[in-house]
């Protein structure tokens, strides 16, 4: 930034000297000086460069410098920002931080099974962290390395038990190389893959059918809502083209008939209600008569001293055959 400001100061000084030799360009040079002075610069230009004067140069050299100044224009903050951007494009970026775990991963053979590679990677990371912690503990006063070593041994045992239990799980058993090259295994894999592809295709078809019916249901729901709000208007052209058009026209207006029969239907409803009420009253009278008859027959039987009185004595009497007339 200091070099840029120094360069800007040199350009301002050269413009002042050239203005003395070419009075026709005084106004442009003054505007250039003002723009340079009003730039948001925190470092002032070096004043020692103002003593430099191109008085020893020829008129041709002064004219070429003036042409250069006119073509380049004033030094503005926008131009400076652009030059700074161009400078950052060619600047080399910082190198990436080293990752020790990538080295551990490369040291493990890729021909091993995935489960075994993961176990080796976990153990290698654990060894690196143990060494780092041990080096740090050596610099700590009053630290016990023996207790730390015991804890490390216990953690290693726990890790071995964990890896052994994971290896014994039925879902984590991987196929060995001979089993993987078995043609029966390949056929089974192909069948499973075909079944998966078929199920995926069926799922996609069912999804498309579901979307189709869902769109139809939404359309029907929209039409029903529209019909409930403003009614349904029939298309006269489609009705006229129908084969049942004349048959429909020959039928009476059932809606008008029902409207005319509304008073009669109302009267019939009232009559039916009255008849229903009468039937209910008759049923209640019948029940009361039966109760009164039972009470009266029971009281008379008690007065006559009859012990076993049938509750249906009247029915039995009525049901008994008439005595035959004797001659």
3-state secondary structure of 245: helix
Q: Looking at the structure, do residues 29 and 59 belong to the same domain, yes or no?
A: yes
Q: Give the domain range for residue 115.
A: 100-168
The pTM assigned to this predicted structure is 0.26
Q: Looking at the structure, do residues 39 and 70 belong to the same domain, yes or no?
A: yes
Token digits of residue 142: 């009053």
Using one digit for the tens of pLDDT, what is the confidence trace for 207-233? Answer: 999 999 999 999 988 888 888 787 666
CA atoms of 326 and 64, how far apart (whole Å) = 170
Contact (CB, 8 A) for 12 and 36: yes
Report whether pLDDT(176) > 60.
no
Q: Give the closest residue to 66 by CA, choosing from 21, 8, 34.
A: 21
Q: Is residue 122 part of a domain?
A: yes
Q: Is residue 71 part of a domain?
A: yes
* pLDDT for res 133: 87
Q: Where residue 70 falls among pLDDT bands split at 50, 70, 90?
A: very low
Q: Where residue 263 falls among pLDDT bands split at 50, 70, 90?
A: very high
Distances (CA, A) of 172 to 90, 137, 167, 176, 246: 52, 38, 6, 12, 77
| DSSP per-residue codes, 64-112 | HHHHHHHHH----HHHHHHHHHHHHHSSPPPPPPP-HHHHHHHHS-TTS
Q: Is residue 248 part of a domain?
A: no
Q: Is residue 221 part of a domain?
A: no
Q: Is residue 211 part of a domain?
A: no
Q: Give the closest residue to 59 by CA, choosing from 24, 21, 12, 14.
A: 21
Q: Looking at the structure, do residues 108 and 140 belong to the same domain, yes or no?
A: yes
CA atoms of 60 and 53, how far apart (whole Å) = 15
* Domains contained in the chain, number: 2
Report whether pLDDT(69) > 60.
no
């Amino acid at each position: 930034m200091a070099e840029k400001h120094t360069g800007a100061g040199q350009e301002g000084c050269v413009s002042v000297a050239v203005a003395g030799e070419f009075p026709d360009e005084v106004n442009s040079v003054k505007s250039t000086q003002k723009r340079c002075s009003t730039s948001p610069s925190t470092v002032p230009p070096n004043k020692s460069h103002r003593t430099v004067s191109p008085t020893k140069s020829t008129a041709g050299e002064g004219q070429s410098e003036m042409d250069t100044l006119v073509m380049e224009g004033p030094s503005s903050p926008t131009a400076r920002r652009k030059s700074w951007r161009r400078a950052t494009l060619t600047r080399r970026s910082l190198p990436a931080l080293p990752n020790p775990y990538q080295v551990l991963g490369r040291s493990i053979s890729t021909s091993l099974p995935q489960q075994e590679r993961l176990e080796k990677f976990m153990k290698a990371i654990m060894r690196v962290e143990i060494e780092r912690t041990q080096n740090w503990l050596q610099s700590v006063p009053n630290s016990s390395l023996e207790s730390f070593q015991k804890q490390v041994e216990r953690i290693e045992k726990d890790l071995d038990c964990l890896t052994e239990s994971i290896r014994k799980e039925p879902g984590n058993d991987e196929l060995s190389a001979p089993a993987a090259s078995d043609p029966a295994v390949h056929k089974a894999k192909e069948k499973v893959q075909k079944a998966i592809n078929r199920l995926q295709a069926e799922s996609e078809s069912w999804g498309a059918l579901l979307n189709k019916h869902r769109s139809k249901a939404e359309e029907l729901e929209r039409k029903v809502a529209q019909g409930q709000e403003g009614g349904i208007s029939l298309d006269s052209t489609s009705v006229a083209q129908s084969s049942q058009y004349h048959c429909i026209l020959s039928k009476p207006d059932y809606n008008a008939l029902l409207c005319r029969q509304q008073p009669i239907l109302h009267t019939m409803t009232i009559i039916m209600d009255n008849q229903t009420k009468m039937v209910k009253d008759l049923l209640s009278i019948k029940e009361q008569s039966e109760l009164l008859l039972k009470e009266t027959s029971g009281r008379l039987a008690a007065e006559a001293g009859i012990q076993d009185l049938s509750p249906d004595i009247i029915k039995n009497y009525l049901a008994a055959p008439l005595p035959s007339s004797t001659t």
